[in-house]
Every structure is written in structure tokens, then in C-alpha cells.
Amino acid sequence: MVESIVSTGLAIGCIYALIGITYNVMFSASRVFSFTAGTLGMLGGVLGSLFIGRLGLPVAVGFLLALAGGVLLGIVTEIVAVRPVLKSLDQHLYVLSTLALALMVQQFTAIEWGTEARPFPRLFDIARGGFDQEFWLPMLACLTVIVGLELLYRHTLIGRAFLAIAEDTYAARALGLPERSLRMASYALAGAIGALAGFAGGEMLLAFFGNGPMLTFYGFVPVALGGMGNNRGAVVAGLLLGLFQQTANFLVGGIFASVAVFTVFIIVLLARPEGLAGAAVQRRV
Amino acid sequence: MTQVRPSRADALGATSTLGVALPFLALLVIGVTLPLFGGGYWGVIATRACVYWVLVSGLNLVVGFAGQIAIGWVALLTLGAYTTSVLAAGNVMPSLSPYLALAIAAVVGAIFGLIVGLPALRLRTFYFAITTLGFATIVTQVALAWQSVTGGGVGVAGPIFPKPFDSQWGFYYFCFGLAAICTWMTANIAASRFGRALTAIRDAEVAAEACGIAKPPLLALVFLFSGAVAAIAGGLFASLQSYITPDAFTLDLSVLFFIAILIGGRSSILGPLLGTILLTVLPEFAAPLVAWSTFLYAVLLLVIVLAMPGGIAELLDFKNRRPLESGRAIVPRPELLDRLLAAPADGGAGALTLEQVALAFGGVHAIDGLDLEIRSGQIHGLIGPNGSGKTTTLNVISGYYAQQSGAVRLNGAALPVLERHRRAHMRIARTFQTPRIVGSASVLQNVMIGGTIDGKCTFVESLLSLPRHRRDEVLLRDTAMLALSAVGLERLAPVRADRLQHSELRFTEIARALMLRPAFLLLDEPAAGLSAEEIGRLGALVVAIARAGTGVLLVEHHADLIFDICHHVTVLNLGKNLAAGTPADIRSHREVVNAYLGG
């Protein structure tokens, strides 16, 4: 039983962490949290099920197409919902514009794909067993993304440019960095990560339009607790969240597990609004 | 171009009362006579619009006025619907009368409204939006899983209200009556100091604090009210649906409520009301589009955010599209100040003193051992190069920064550190380097915000427009008109503040500060951006304010103004006193001339 809690908890925690990283990658590039983060996860699952399950494409092709869908939504988010409102960041219009876009994608999915949860195909044709692909796929995806991002940020020029933008947009622009292209690239990357989360967790979460708001919320918890823009914090907090949720699930049952997660989230945030690992920002008068 | 001169009555808002009430009266007549025109399905739609409006009217105070992005308010509708239904059906205890069940639901809703809303006091915008979203997700899950009470996925029957509200039109009138009451109550709040304070928190939080508005208690009241009416709407909704399952409470509904407010426009009652009616009725005209309605709402939301943030209310605001008089001058009438600032309570012989105050940001010593004394009835000038610590000094006095050593004293007693809103209660007022104004409110309303703490009535009294509320409003309005006349802006009283010129905004801020009848007034570069003529008038105004007994701290770069009107001048450089003394002393001070004035 403990084994099942741990494997399920870690697997689902990895999905939350990946959505958290999706938030962070977008945030670093633009200082904007986007409601489309969870939608990307939902889309990854639905597109995977569509391409591989319904259209019968090979797994690799379906995988790449699902990621491409995420990239596309990431870029659309940047162009439609983020860029127009960046000028007036202090009015928080991005909350509404990204919410609108997320709802549009979600409704479109609900109508075209259907409102019931559909199965996600098994990616590898191996027998179902204890530590199944259902569990290790999300973990593998999470590990790949973390290592990949570390390599990108530390060892490539474009990765350093991302960091520069995240650190100080004005200074980066003054240095001649193409801020707009970098922001688009960040959103494309975030789109791919979000879709990967949904794709890797497809068997667990199914291809269901309602996963959007669910992931938007549970994926934000690691960001809030781990500190904005802090990927390592997001991974740790995401795994803890997954374990906590599954344990509570086992101990007190599904609904009250959700209530427990929500309560802990609110209490931690009220006690430390900047997150467990974040630093308070001085307000300017 | 024709020049429009607002009549005096118009400026005082006397004629506009009927104009404001007219659309509401028209809706009232339409609503009451609706059953004459038809029946059947349209009756259901009309009832639904009323039910939604009961919720939206309360949410409007949260979203439209206080600017808190509460996107999961459907959770409170769910809560109210289930509480009413379960209590009336008697699932857990002997069944109650539907009215009592509805009343209990309102109490439960108020409590949960507060719980959902509380994070808004600490959390940033997106965080708050997410917590309301999370709450909405969870309430539905609980409704689905708590089968013994809610019936799970099978659901529970909604309450049936007894005669005469059991027929279709009977129930319609019940809902319509409640909707009308909600409209009236929220309109009362909107026109009260509470409504103005909410918009101030939304658009100019720093200025709201300086006016003594404490955000937590005010928002708590609004969340209580909003939660209660949302839960009542839930009870009505359950009765209208006659049977409820968790499926009925999707996030789509939340989106509808939220968008109705944004389409309607912020700080408006009529706009969101029309928005609610529009969004309820619209899908019925386009039956094939019903499946796409939420998609279309989302598109609408995006279009509104990007293209017309003002919403319907701004479209209907004809008054503010008339061109303003060009070449208008600000002509203060300092003689009115005696009436406005009459007789300071403490006899007017106090002092605001800074003793060896120091504050460093990291390695930068913003102020470093500063001594300063501002005496009642005197003007104290604070000058120095950019970055010398002038505004930081002002921010320490008004509580935005805590000094690391030294003391700030008012008449000998230390000022509480960092408690910004308490400054106003001690009659310390201030203006800002960049004017902080509620752009969508009228100039008069902006000035009235300054007098918020002088209101006597409670939130409930304002809600019900009881006599004390009306007395408060009359008094605040009269005082604000007097303050506007004193600074020379009375002609602009009914104009939207964001249409004013920069210099007019500066004088508006002074008028707002005067509403506190300040013992001490802190002016942060009031002459910046003013013409030479306006600076002269500003000087005369400040002199008159001091003569009425107020101690003034004047932070300025215009040396001429400082030397003309100040009794005492302190020169700062790199956070330290470079010199202090009378204007004559300073003008001949060698170091000051070298470092700052130039010679």
C-alpha cells in the first residue's frame, strides 16, 4: 500500500512540478503568470489520445505532434494574451486575458473532443506491472526537463539570454538582446513542457477537458510554495504536494484530500506569501 | 468648439440624481410588468436573470469596485444551493421552512465568502484568482463525493417556496424583489464612503492608506455581504432548477458572472446589471450557439480586456464626453480655508519632530541621522539634490518605511512604525510626487475619499441608506466642495478625474489632503510640472494653509518657491543635514550654494 502511495504520489507530483515549471518559464520571460499553464497539460493528454489512440499514428509522431500543439498554444498565448497587456503590467490585465484564452481552448476542446474523460493509449507495449509506465513516464519526463533546462541555462548562449531577461528585462534590452523573440521562445518552450506533462501523465489523468483548471490550480501550488521563478523549489514542492495528496487520499478519502491540500496551501501562503523559498519584495511608493 | 459651462446645480450633482435613477426605474417598470407580455419560457429566463443578478450585485463590489479578481464565485452559489436544498429537504435534520433554510444559507455564504476572500488581504492578484479557482474546484468535488448529504452525482431536489411564490410568476416576483433590493443596497454602498474607499483601494492603494482607509476590515465586510447574497442566489437557483446536481455548477457560470461585471464596467451598478441581463438572454436568441456560449463569453472577455476596458458604463457615460472648457485656470480662494480648517482640536501648538532618524537600503544610506522639526502654523522647506533622501524622509513620516534608528514624534509621542492608515487619524495628511487619483471617479468623489475617516455611519447603515448615512454624505459632499473651491477647482467637481490636466491633479490631491483638516500636511514636490503662474498661486495657498494653523512640510526643487514662503529650510545632501535655518541663512550658505543652488 505504501508502495502504491509513493509511486502514485511521486508520479502525480512530477506532473504538478512540470506544470509549475511551465508557469515559471513563462513568468521568467514576462513577469506574467498565465492561466494557460494547466490548459497546456490538458491539451498534451487530449492531443496524445487523438493522434495515437484515435488516428493511430506511431507513438513518436503522435508525441511530436502533441508537443507541437503545446508550442503553438504557447506562442499564441504570448501574442494574443500577454504581449498586448505587458505595457500596463500593474493593472494585472494579464490575469483576465490569459484566463480568457485558457477558457477558449478548454471550451473548444469540450465541444470538439467531448466532455467525458477518454482513455489515453499505452505508449509501450509491455505488460502492466508493479512499477508501471503509468508511473515512471511522468518521472522520466520531469527528470528530462530538469536536466534539459539546467543544460540549456548553463551551457548555451540562448539559455543565458533567457536568464538575463529573467533577471533584468531593461538591462537585457539595453544590451541589445532581442527581448521579444526571446519571450516568444520562452513561451514556445513552456508550451512544450506543459504539453509534455499532460502527455506523460496521460494514462493517469486521461484525456479530459476538465484537467485544465485542475492542473492550473495544482500546478500553481508548487510555484507559490517553491517561490516564483524557482524551478528547483517547484520540483521539490510538486513532489511533496503529490505525496501529501496521495497520503491524504488514502487516509481520509478523495474529497477531504482536496480540502486538505487547499487548506495547507492557503495557510502556508498566508503565513509566507512569498513562498517557502522566496524572498519578500520591497514595495515601492 | 462650443464651451460647456456646467451650471452650479450640475456641479453639485443635484440634477444628476434623477438622471442616474432613470435607467433603474425603467428596468423596474419593465420587470414589474413583464408577466403582461408573455409567459412560459421567457418567464424562466427572466427569473434566471434576476437570480444571477442577486449574485452578481454582490460580486460587483468585490470585482468591479474593490478590483479583486475573484473568478471562482460559483462556489458560493453551489454552497447556497446545497445548503438551502438540503435543509429544506431534511436530508440531515428535520426539514426547515425554505425561508429559514435560505436565511441559514445566507449566513453560511457570508462565512465562506469571508474565508475565500481573506487571502486577498495578503496575496497578489494572480494568487487570489487561483485560490478562488481552487475553492470552486473543491466545492464541486465535495458536493459530488459527500453522497449522504448532497446526494452525490444523483443530486437533490431544490426547495419549493410556499404560496404565493410557488407559481412561475409568483417565484419570478420573489426573485425580482430580491434583485431589486440588492440593486438598491449595492447602489447605496457605491454612493457611500465605503464604495469610494473600495475604488481607492483598487486604483490608488497608497493614497487610500494615506487617507486612513484600512483595507482588511473594509474588504472583510464586502466579502461577508457578497458571500451572503451569492448563497441566497444559490438557494433561488436551486428552486428555479427544481433539481440540482454538481454538474449544474461548472466554472462556466463563474465566468458568466465575472464577464457580466467586466462588460458592464468597473465602479458601476447599471453596467453590470445590463451585462447580466445581456449574457442571460443573448444565448436564447441564438439557439445553435448555446453550446458555444462559454466560448463566446471567453472571446468577449478577451476583446473587452484588450479593446474596451471601460465596458458598457463608459459607453453610457455621455456626460464625460462633452469637451471640457479649454484654457481654464486654477484660481484658489484661500479665504475659504478658515472655514474648512476651522479650529484645530488641540489648539494648534504642536510639532512633528524627527530625531536622528536613519534608514539604509543595503549599503545606501538614504537618510543618515536626520533632525527636523515641523511646527504648527509654519512652513518647513526640505530641499536637496536628487537622491538626497527627501522623499524617503516623507515616507518614514507617513509610515511606508520603518526607520532603523532614531524617532519620529508627534507632539512628543512616538509615531507607530509602519502603521500607515493611522497617520490620517492623527491628522497627518500628504500628497504624492506622482498624483495618486482614482481616474474613473469624479473629482468631487476623489476629494471626498480624503474625508472617509470622518464618516460616522456603519456599513449596514450605508447599505440601507439610513439617516446617518445620508447626513454623512451631505456633510462630506459639502466639505469636499468647500475644499475644491478653496483650491480653485469647484468647476471641475463632476468631471472624471482622468480627464484633468496634471496641474489640476496636483491641486485635487491638496484638496483631498485638506479633507482631513490636517494638523500636519506633507507636500511632495507639489510644484513639479506647474506653470510659473500656478506656482505663485500654489505658494499663496500653502501660506494660507499654514496661517490656518497647519504645519506644512514642503519637499521641493523650486528654490524660489521655497525661499518665498518657508519659515524654515532644511537642506539634505546624501541623507544628512547639510544646512538648516531661515531662507536668508540658506541662501547665503556657501556649501549649499556650491552643492545645490549653484552660484
- For residue range B195-209, list pLDDT tens digits in order: 999 999 998 989 999
First to last CA, chain B: 48
pLDDT of residue B342: 67
CA distance A264 to chain B (A): 12
Domain coverage including residue A76: 2-121+131-271
CA atoms within 13 A on the CB side of A188: 9
pLDDT of residue B3: 39
pLDDT of residue B187: 95
Mean pLDDT value across residues B35-50: 86
Chain A residues whose C-beta is within 8 A of a chain B C-beta are 33, 80-81, 84-85, 92-93, 95-97, 99-101, 103-104, 107-108, 111, 213-214, 216-217, 220, 224, 253-255, 258-259, 262, 265-266, 269-270, 273, 282-283, 285
- The pair phi, psi for residue B407, each rounded to 5°, is -140, 150
- Beta-carbon separation of A216 and B133 below 8 A: yes
pLDDT tens figures, B314-342: 777 777 778 887 778 888 888 888 888 86
- Whether B37 contacts chain A with CB within 8 A: no
3-state SS track over A163-230: HHHHHCHHHHHHCCCCHHHHHHHHHHHHHHHHHHHHHHCHHHHCECCCHHHHHHHHHHHHHHHHCCCC
Residue A139, domain CATH:
1.10.3470
- Whether B163 contacts chain A with CB within 8 A: no
Alpha-carbon separation of residue B587 from B370, B570, B595 (angstroms)? 21, 12, 12
Q: For testing the chain B interface, which of A26, A39, A96 should be mutated: the one with the most B CBs within 10 Å?
A: A96
pLDDT of residue B338: 83
pLDDT of residue B345: 52
pLDDT tens figures, B59-116: 999 999 998 988 889 999 999 999 999 999 887 788 889 999 999 999 999 999 998 8
Task: Check the CA dihedral B496-B500-B504-B507 and report its sign.
Answer: positive
Mean pLDDT value across residues B264-277: 91
Domains of chain B by residue range: 8-316, 351-427+552-599
Residue scoring higher pLDDT (A131 or B446): B446
- Beta-carbon separation of A96 and B144 below 8 A: no
Q: What is the mean pLDDT of chain B?
A: 87
Mean pLDDT value across residues B456-468: 92
DSSP state of B264: H
Mean pLDDT value across residues B374-380: 92
- Beta-carbon separation of B306 and A85 below 8 A: yes
pLDDT of residue A264: 84
- Whether B294 contacts chain A with CB within 8 A: yes
Residue type present at position B547: R
Task: Quickly state the pLDDT bin for B538 (edges 50, 70, 90).
Answer: very high
Indicate the length of chain A as a whole number.
285
pLDDT tens figures, B212-244: 999 999 999 999 999 999 999 999 999 999 999
Mean pLDDT value across residues B570-585: 88
Q: For testing the chain B interface, which of A217, A261, A284 should be mutated: the one with the most B CBs within 10 Å?
A: A217
Indicate the length of chain B as a whole number.
599
Q: Considering the domain boundaries, does residue A69 fall inside one?
A: yes
Same fold, B8-316 and B351-427+552-599: no
pLDDT of residue A282: 45
The domain B8-316 having CATH identifier 1.10.3470: the answer here is yes
Helix (H) or strand (E) holding B576: strand B576-581
- Beta-carbon separation of A217 and B134 below 8 A: yes
Q: Are A224 and B124 in contact (CB under 8 A)?
A: no
Residue written as cell 428596468?
B27
- Beta-carbon separation of A258 and B130 below 8 A: no
Task: Quickly state the pLDDT bin for B348 (edges 50, 70, 90).
Answer: low
- Dist CA A113 CA B269 (whole Å): 39
- Beta-carbon separation of A255 and B146 below 8 A: yes
- Beta-carbon separation of B142 and A258 below 8 A: yes
* Total domain count, chain A: 1
Q: For testing the chain B interface, which of A19, A39, A89, A95 should be mutated: the one with the most B CBs within 10 Å?
A: A95
- Beta-carbon separation of A93 and B309 below 8 A: yes
- Beta-carbon separation of A103 and B305 below 8 A: no
pLDDT of residue B35: 82
pLDDT of residue A251: 87
CATH topology of domain B351-427+552-599: Rossmann fold (3.40.50)
- Beta-carbon separation of A104 and B119 below 8 A: no
- Whether B82 contacts chain A with CB within 8 A: no
Q: Considering the domain boundaries, does residue A170 fall inside one?
A: yes
Q: Considering the domain boundaries, does residue A227 fall inside one?
A: yes
- Beta-carbon separation of A269 and B146 below 8 A: no
Name residues of chain A where pLDDT drops below 50. 281-285
Residue B12 in this model has a pLDDT that exceeds 50: no
Tell me the chain B residues in contact with residue A96 when contact means C-beta distances shorter than 8 Å: 69, 262, 301, 305
Tell me the chain A residues in contact with residue B119 when contact means C-beta distances shorter than 8 Å: 266, 269-270
CA distance A59 to chain B (A): 31
